[in-house]
């Protein structure tokens, strides 16, 4: 009986930890302001856009990369994934939008990618399977 | 191998694939470790290796990630489970010890992806580890809980099913 109670208590604690971790993973702790350099490059390495945008992110009004992009470009997002910028669509089967932040490949999407003042973010229209990219 | 046993193995593979798809909406929360632990203990290491190979192929096919950067680390990560359970973790018999083993194997599974991501995609090691910590923790904790609670009852059911298939 005692072992059963301990098992239940530990399980509830583990579940609570899992919920906490899930919430932590979802948050974007970006409370800062500044400017980001956005560069959009098509499949032939031509620059489609090269702009610097100011942003001011607060706890009540957090700014994500998604916010900045949708404010300044015509973007298409499907299931949380960026598929189109200014009419250039990636079907994610043959092509996708690879994101580089300060010349390092981003490991998050436009809703969760952390950035700060002065960062350079490149969106490169990339063939699937092209793991080496000379965008930077 | 009898036809009936082949059918049982294909059913077990189907369950593995189906639960993955059903739980896909929850990040890294799955019962894959639980099922692979059960399969290893019930049908053996060799047959579980076949189940895993089919499962990984189907999973990559469904999620459109049948490339080397996903397929190879996923295959290695999952194959480590039956191989280690059949060797270094063979003495672990109790449910609680198996639940703790699943935490270790969850971390090795995550590490197998990290190696591929760092080498092939040139993602910085530090950035990958930091970004992956919450998802590895979720994987480890969900594996721990599912094995702790469900291993014993499911073992009885699947073992009975498998035993009746190979004996009749």
- How many Cβ contacts (< 8 angstroms) between chains A and B? 50
Spatial contact of B34 and B151, defined as CB atoms under 8 Å apart: yes
CA angle A123/A128/A130 to nearest 5° reads 80
The yes-or-no verdict on residue B121 having pLDDT over 90 is: no
Q: Which of B152, B145, B154, B131 is nearest to B102 (CA)?
A: B145
Pairing of strands A120-127, A95-101: antiparallel
Report in angstroms the alpha-carbon separations of B26 from A127, B45, B159. Answer: 29, 29, 29
Interface confidence: ipTM more than 0.85? no
CB contact under 8 A, B138 and A92: no
The rounded distance, in Å, linking the Cα atoms of A51 and A72 is 10
The token pair at B144 is 């721990």
Tokens of B109: 């599974």
Alpha carbon distance B88, B103 (integer Å): 15
Please list every residue in chain A whose beta carbon sits closer than 8 Å to the beta carbon of residue B69: 131
Determine, for residues B138 and A25 on separate chains, whether the beta-carbon distance falls below 8 Å: yes
Burial class of residue B167 in the structure, from the number of CB atoms within 10 Å of its CB (0-12 exposed, 13-18 middle, 19+ buried): exposed
- Which string of DSSP letters, residue by residue, matches chain B? --HHHHHHHHHHHHHHHHHHHHGGGSTT--SHHHHHHHHHHHH-HHHHHHHHHHHHHHHHHHTT--SHHHHHHHHHHHHHHHHHHTTTTTT--SHHHHHHHHHHHHHHHHHHHHHHHHHHS---HHHHHHHHHHHHHHHHHHHHHHHHHHHHHHHHHHHHHHHHHHH-
**A122 φ/ψ sector (left φ>0, alpha ψ -120 to 50, else beta):** beta
Would you say the pTM of this structure is higher than 0.90? no
Q: Per residue of chain A (136 residues), what is the pLDDT tens digit?
A: 788 899 999 999 999 998 888 877 765 455 578 899 999 999 888 999 999 999 887 766 778 899 999 999 999 998 788 999 999 999 878 899 999 988 888 878 898 887 888 899 999 999 887 766 656 6
Residue A125 β-bridge partners? A97
Cα R_g (chain B), whole angstroms: 16
Note the pLDDT tens digit of each residue in B79-95: 999 999 999 999 998 99
Check residue B11 and give its pLDDT: 93
> From CA B102, how far away is CA B146, in angstroms rounded?
10
CA diameter of chain B: 55
pLDDT at B42: 95
From chain B, the residues in CB contact with A17 under 8 A are: 137, 141
Chain A positions touching chain B (beta carbons under 8 Å): 7, 11, 14-15, 17-18, 21-22, 24-25, 92-93, 104-105, 107-108, 128-129, 131-132
Q: Do the Cβ atoms of A105 and B138 come within 8 Å?
A: no
Mean pLDDT of chain B: 90
| pLDDT score, position A27 | 58
A contacts of B134 (beta carbons < 8 Å)? 21-22, 24-25
Which of A15, A25, A135 has the most B C-beta neighbours within 10 Å, making it the best mutation to test the interface with B?
A25
Helix (H, G, I), strand (E, B) or coil at A130: coil
Contact B148 A93 (CB under 8 A): no
For B43, the token pair is 């049908």
Closest CA to A18 of B58, B35, B29, B68: B29
Residue A31, pLDDT score: 55
Which residues are bridge partners to B161 per DSSP?
Answer: none
Render pLDDT for B11-58 as a digit per residue (tens, 0 to 9): 999 999 999 999 988 878 899 999 999 999 999 999 999 999 999 999
- Across the strands, what pairs with A50? A39
Q: What is the per-residue pLDDT for A76?
A: 93
Nearest chain A residue to B142, by CA: A18
On whether the CB atoms of residues B112 and B80 are closer than 8 A, the answer is: yes
Higher pLDDT, B63 or A120: A120
């Amino acid at each position: 009986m005692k072992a059963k109670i301990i098992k239940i208590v530990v399980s509830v604690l583990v579940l609570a930890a899992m919920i906490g971790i899930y919430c932590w993973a979802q948050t974007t702790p970006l409370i800062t302001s500044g400017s980001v350099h956005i560069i959009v490059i098509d499949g032939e390495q031509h620059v489609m856009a090269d702009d610097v945008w100011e942003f001011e992110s607060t706890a009540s009004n957090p700014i994500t990369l998604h916010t900045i992009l949708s404010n300044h470009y015509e973007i298409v997002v499907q299931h949380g994934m960026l598929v189109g910028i200014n009419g250039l669509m990636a079907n994610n089967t043959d092509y996708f939008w690879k994101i580089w932040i300060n010349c390092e490949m981003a490991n998050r999407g436009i809703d969760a990618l952390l950035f700060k003042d002065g960062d350079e973010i490149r969106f490169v229209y990339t063939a699937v399977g092209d793991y080496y990219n000379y965008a930077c | 191998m009898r036809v009936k046993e082949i059918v049982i193995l294909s059913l077990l593979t189907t369950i593995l694939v189906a639960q993955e798809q059903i739980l896909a909406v929850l990040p890294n929360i799955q019962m894959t470790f639980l099922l692979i632990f059960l399969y290893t203990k019930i049908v053996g290491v060799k047959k579980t290796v076949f189940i895993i190979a089919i499962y990984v192929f189907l999973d990559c096919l469904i999620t459109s990630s049948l490339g080397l950067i996903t397929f190879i680390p996923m295959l290695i990560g999952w194959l480590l489970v039956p191989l280690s359970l059949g060797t270094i973790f063979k003495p672990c018999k109790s449910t609680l010890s198996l639940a703790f083993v699943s935490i270790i194997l969850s971390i090795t599974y995550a590490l197998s992806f990290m190696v591929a991501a760092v080498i092939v995609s040139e993602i910085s090691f530090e950035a990958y580890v930091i970004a992956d910590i919450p998802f590895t923790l979720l994987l480890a904790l969900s594996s721990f809980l599912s094995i702790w609670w469900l291993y014993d009852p499911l073992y009885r059911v699947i073992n009975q099913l498998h035993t009746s298939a190979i004996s009749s």
